[in-house]
Amino acid sequence: MTQKINPLALEEQVCFAVAVAARSVVAVYRPVLEPMGLTHPQYLVMLALWEHDQLAVKDLSSLLKLDPGTLSPLVKRLQAQGLVTRDRDPRDERALAITLTPAGRALREQAEKVPGAIVAKLGMDLERLQGLRRDLAEVIAAAEQALEGAV
Domains in the chain, number: 2
- Same structural domain, 98 and 133: no
- Residue bearing the bigger pLDDT, 90 or 43: 43
- Residue-range definition of the domain harbouring residue 134: 113-146
Percent of the chain with pLDDT over 70: 99
- Same structural domain, 94 and 122: no
Mean pLDDT of the chain: 93
Q: What is the pLDDT of residue 51?
A: 97
CATH of the domain at 89: 1.10.10.10
Query: Is 96 a residue whose pLDDT tops 80?
Result: yes
- Same structural domain, 126 and 97: no
Distance CA 130, CA 136 (A): 10
Decide: 119 and 129 in contact? Cβ < 8 Å: yes
- Same structural domain, 66 and 102: yes
- Same structural domain, 139 and 123: yes
Mean pLDDT of 18-29: 97
Query: Is 151 a residue whose pLDDT tops 70?
Result: no
Say if 12 falls within a structural domain.
no
**pLDDT per position as a tens digit, 129-146:** 999 999 999 999 999 999
- Same structural domain, 105 and 118: no
Say if 84 falls within a structural domain.
yes
Query: Is 2 a residue whose pLDDT tops 80?
Result: no
Distance CA 133, CA 91 (A): 34
Q: What is the pLDDT of residue 90?
A: 72
Say if 8 falls within a structural domain.
no
- Same structural domain, 67 and 97: yes
Say if 74 falls within a structural domain.
yes
pTM of the model: 0.90
- Same structural domain, 94 and 56: yes
Say if 78 falls within a structural domain.
yes
- Same structural domain, 57 and 102: yes
